[in-house]
Structure 1
Amino acid sequence: MRILFGLLSGLVFGLGLVISGMSDPAKVLNFLDVFGPWDPSLAFVMGGASVTAYIGYRLVWRRPAPVLMQSFDMPDTTRVDAPLLTGAALFGIGWGIGGFCPGPAWTALTFAAPGTLVFLPMMLIGLYAGRQIKARMSP
């Protein structure tokens, strides 16, 4: 049942990204370029997602456990530390350079755009390299 709901969630997410135009890196880059041809539409998509998530979390936290799991899977720490800030900065730099966030990059793969065909393999290599570096840094 979890797989079915995961598939449905992914379908809704992908449809939303494509319909809103967020799978187009030019749209994202135009949002980030506040001194050029600025496009505020990403702010509306993010705002809508934030409101929806806020309401959803308020409803979910009233339950003793998720519908399809035994318990909530919560992070062990809420610290803001150097690895978190470094990772967030690298993520933002990659997003700014490529114009893709991971979700939209996967949806844009269906269009076989040359930028996507370069971005996704490099993102996967970066994920692998990041895990290797993090494992070596752990005590």
Structure 2
Amino acid sequence: MLVVIALGGNAILRRGEPMSVSGQRKTIAEACVPLAQVAREHDLVVSHGNGPQVGLLALQAASFDHVSEYPFDVLGAQTEGMLGYLIEQELGNVLGNDRPIATLVTRTLVDPADPAFEDPTKFVGPVYTAAEAQVLVEQHGWSS
């Protein structure tokens, strides 16, 4: 049987925890123990979110004045590759390397006229206080 399991980006990189690869690897390693149990008995597809990771990468890229900001589709692909790699590594550690594991990078087509943009419910990156947000609005010319 084919089983599809999704790991949320916020579950991999939890708010309040250090935004580090080692922390994400640890969280993924913990998740891979039950994932491996499923994979031993079924064909398994693991999907994952990457909102916090995209936000972090965008902030890192924005900190360099001499580098053009990367578009979100490219940041998404970069973080998908990173998370896929970590999942492959940690799932392979539990299952053994005799099981084939592959990562796929996806593409998403977004309609700029989608009415969901009027009332966003899923955010990318860190959450700021009103004071922090105002400083960023002034620094970067962002809308508030």
Bigger fraction of residues in strand: 2
Normalised by the length of structure 1, the TM-score is 0.27
**Structure having greater relative contact order (Cα 8 Å, sep ≥ 6):** 1
